[in-house]
Amino acid sequence: MTDQSRSDLTRFAWLSIAAAVATISLKAGAYYLTGSVGLLSDALESIINLVAALIALWVLKIAAQPPDEEHMFGHEKVEYFSSGIEGSLILIAALSIIYAAVGRLIEPQPLEQIGLGLAVSLLATVINLVVARLLLRAGRDNHSIVLEADGHHLMTDVWTSVGVIVGVAAVNFTGLLRLDPLIAILVAINIVFSGWALIRRSVHGLLDAAAPAETQEQIVAILARFVDREKIAYHALRTRQSGARKFIYLHVLVPGSWTVQKGHDLLEELEAELHREITNSVVFTHLEPLEDPVSYEDANLIRERNAL
C-alpha cells in the first residue's frame, strides 16, 4: 500500500467521528427520557468512541507520512499509541460508570418513558453496527490496526448497548429497579476487558512483537521453496510488526563457489517473492557462505540473546 492510499484511510476515521457524534446525541437523549443509569453508561462509552475516533484520525495522518531522516523505518508504530490511549480512556469510562451505578444501587430510582428511550437507543446501536462492520472490513483490507481497533471497539459498544436495552426492558417488565444499575456494572466490567485488550496489544507492538503466526508460517513456506530449488539454507529469521508494516530479517547461506552476482540475484528474487506474498513487508537479507562455520555463529548469538 502506498503512503497516498494510507492517507485516504482518514475518510473512515471521519465516518467514525460522525457516527460517534450521532450516537452520543441519541444515547444522551435516551438517558434524558428514561433516567436509566444503564443508558447513561452506554452514552459515556460513546463519548470514548468519539475521543478514540479523533485520535485515530490524527494517528492515520501521521502513519501515512513516508520515512524521513529522523524516522527511517516509517511512522506506522504511532498506531500503537492510538490503541493504548483508547484503552486507557475506556478504563476511565468504566470507573465512571461503576461510580454512577453504585449510587443507583443504593438508592434505586424509577425509570420513565422506557419505550421511547429504548427506541432511540436501538437506533444508535444500528448506526454503530453498520459503521463497525465498515471499519473492520477496511482495517483488514488495508492492514490498519487503528481501523481494526476502532471497529472492534464499536462492536463492543454494540453488544454493550444490546445488553443495556435488554436490561432496561427487563426492569420495565419486572419492576426490579436495581436491575438497571446491576446491568450498568456488568457493562463496565465488559468495557474493562475491552480496554485492557487494547492496552496489551499496544504494549506488544511497542516492544516489537513478532509478526502474527500465520505470517511467519507464510514466510517459512516461501523460504522452503528456495531451499529445495537452489539447495541453499537460511537462519536468523526474525520478524517484527510496526503498524501495518511487517519487517523481515534473515541470513541466506549459499555455496561458497557462487559468484557475488549469483548470490545477489538470488536475494533479489527472494526479496521480491516475499514482497509479493507478504503485504506491506520490508525485507532485510544478509548473504553468507554455506560451508564456513563462522556463518553460523551469528545465529547462535541471536538465540543466546533471545534466551536472556
Q: Per-residue pLDDT for 308 more than 50?
A: no
Range of the domain at 265: 213-307
In a shared domain, residues 99 and 232: no
- The radius of gyration of the chain from alpha carbons, rounded to an integer in Å, stands at 25
pLDDT band, residue 304 (cuts 50/70/90): very low
| Cβ atoms of 144 and 60 closer than 8 Å | yes
Dist. CA 285–CA 270, nearest whole Å: 9
Q: Residue 303: which CATH number?
A: 3.30.70.1350
Q: Is 206 helix (H, G, I), strand (E, B) or coil?
A: helix
Dist. CA 146–CA 166, nearest whole Å: 30
Of 190, 206, 222, the residue at which a domain comes to its end is 206
Dist. CA 276–CA 272, nearest whole Å: 6
Task: Please report the pLDDT score of residue 139 as a whole number.
Answer: 81
In a shared domain, residues 180 and 289: no
Q: Which residue has the cell 487494547?
A: 198
Average pLDDT of the chain is 79
- Poorest-confidence range of 103-107, 252-256, 297-301? 297-301
pLDDT tens for 237-256 read 999 877 667 889 999 999 99
Of 191, 206, 221, the residue at which a domain comes to its end is 206
> In Å, how far from its chain's centre is CA 17?
17
In a shared domain, residues 171 and 299: no
Q: Which residue has the higher pLDDT, 270 or 305?
A: 270
Task: Please report the pLDDT score of residue 111 as a whole number.
Answer: 67
Of 206, 236, 259, the residue at which a domain comes to its end is 206
Dist. CA 183–CA 216, nearest whole Å: 42
In a shared domain, residues 250 and 188: no
Dist. CA 134–CA 250, nearest whole Å: 37
Q: Which residue has the higher pLDDT, 253 or 181?
A: 253
Q: Per-residue pLDDT for 260 more than 80?
A: yes
Task: Please report the pLDDT score of residue 302 as a whole number.
Answer: 53
In a shared domain, residues 186 and 227: no
In a shared domain, residues 188 and 279: no
* Proportion of the chain above pLDDT 70, given as a percent: 83
Segment 164-175 mean pLDDT: 76
Dist. CA 115–CA 33, nearest whole Å: 10
Task: Please report the pLDDT score of residue 252 as a whole number.
Answer: 93
| Cβ atoms of 15 and 161 closer than 8 Å | no
Q: Helical H runs in 175-212?
A: 179-206
| Cβ atoms of 211 and 283 closer than 8 Å | no
Q: Is 116 helix (H, G, I), strand (E, B) or coil?
A: helix
- Determine how many CB atoms are found less than 10 A away from the CB of residue 70: 6
pLDDT tens for 19-64 read 888 888 888 888 778 777 667 767 777 777 787 788 878 877 777 7
Q: Per-residue pLDDT for 301 more than 70?
A: no
| Cβ atoms of 35 and 109 closer than 8 Å | yes
Q: Residue 56: which CATH number?
A: 1.20.1510.10
In a shared domain, residues 191 and 243: no
Which of 94-98, 148-152, 169-173, 269-273 has the highest average model confidence (pLDDT)? 269-273
In a shared domain, residues 185 and 239: no
Residue length of the chain:
308
Q: Per-residue pLDDT for 228 more than 80?
A: yes
Q: Per-residue pLDDT for 120 more than 70?
A: yes
| Cβ atoms of 195 and 90 closer than 8 Å | yes
Segment 252-275 mean pLDDT: 93
Which of 4-8, 68-72, 74-78, 226-230 has the highest average model confidence (pLDDT)? 226-230
Q: Which residue has the higher pLDDT, 99 or 5?
A: 99
CA-based nearest residue to 172, from 116, 115, 134:
115
In a shared domain, residues 184 and 120: yes
Considering its fold, how many domains does the chain have in total?
2
Segment 131-148 mean pLDDT: 82
Dist. CA 15–CA 249, nearest whole Å: 37
Dist. CA 235–CA 237, nearest whole Å: 5
Segment 133-150 mean pLDDT: 80
In a shared domain, residues 171 and 236: no
pLDDT tens for 182-223 read 877 887 787 788 778 778 777 776 776 778 888 899 999 999
In a shared domain, residues 172 and 72: yes
In a shared domain, residues 14 and 117: yes
Task: Please report the pLDDT score of residue 112 as a whole number.
Answer: 67
Q: Extract the C-alpha cell encoding 114.
A: 422506557
Q: Extract the C-alpha cell encoding 195.
A: 480496554
Q: What are the residues facing 283 on neighbouring strands?
A: 248
Q: Per-residue pLDDT for 298 more than 70?
A: no
